[in-house]
Structure 1
Amino acid sequence: MSGLANCVAAAWQPGIGDPNATGWLTVLAYLLCFALSAKVWLKLHGRGGRAFWGLVALLMLALAVNKQLDLQSALTASGRCLAQAQGWYDHRRIVQMAFVLGVLGLMFLALLMGLRALRGQLWRNGIALSGLMVLCSFVAVRAIGFHHMDALIGSHGFGVSTNYLFENVGLLLIALNALWILRRG
């Protein structure tokens, strides 16, 4: 194994990333959103918004798997090991900021593309698009791994972590929008 691979292997091991009750509830919420999104995708056969719901379904399934494998921690460990191996670890804040700006730029571009793709359909899919943006913001914050951001989302309110609330608000919005479409007949 190379030095970089050894460093990542020492910093991250595949396994259950969030083995507590709230972690498993969130996985179930992702899987529920996947099932609802897939049902909406099937229902919208030949109608506007179908591609959006197909992408949401795939993303929910991928995020359900990622939730317990903690792949964003592998990404963070890889970045840290690369910075150490290449000697720019002391200047990592510049790279982190560029990464943050890049992620925010991609999210903004995805939002614009979503708005354009859903033109004329936004009234029907806007709540899910909002939930998706909340969820993508959460995933980006987790992937970036800034210590002060980790402290913020690791704090507790209402008896549960802000992390849990932030992630599940996005999932709730997606599920509510899917249920609304499915109930409209």
Structure 2
Amino acid sequence: MQPQIILASQSPRRRELLTQIGVTYRVEVADIDETPRPDESPFELVQRLALEKAQAVWERSDKTLPVLGADTLGFVDHELLLKPLDFEDARRILKSLSHREHDILTAVALCSAQGQSVRLNHSRVWFRAITEAEIAAYWDSGEPQDKAGAYGIQGRAAIFIERLEGSHSGVMGLPLFETAQLLQAQGISLLS
């Protein structure tokens, strides 16, 4: 099938989510500087990065297909939840999430001949208390080693999640409600 869009991401989760709603795509990875700017809030940062990813791929494309970019950021106590450097860093992150809530922001941006648009999804995730043994076992599973916030909601860490307020797909990395809004505004039919 012909692609309907270009996905400016190599995330397997974003690909799965687009496939889930029947969107055909081809992948072209954006290479941008993701360094936060001084005094940039997480809300500003995540939207800027999603848009810059879409813009970067749009600029080098033949301009026939819309380009979808996305970025996901978590934070707790004003600290960004980044990918862990090693086990000790993952342990520190997971302990900071244990028995409390944190925020996940996912922005999705679309660039096309009609212009550009960005949507933001804000979700809150509550973790139950996590033991030291669970943190060690989870690290040993290999799953948290390349995940921002040292966990993936779609994997084994789902057992830590007591409650979610917002979008499950947004926490995974592509909020489907907001994505559908952007695509439908471009005339891309999702249900036919």
Q: Which TM bucket (shorter chain)?
A: under 0.3
Q: TM-score, normalised by structure 2?
A: 0.27
Q: Which has the higher helix share?
A: 1
Q: Which has the larger radius of gyration?
A: 1
Q: TM-score, normalised by structure 1?
A: 0.28
- Greater RCO, 1 or 2 (C-alpha within 8 Å, sep 6+): 1
Q: Which has the higher strand share?
A: 2
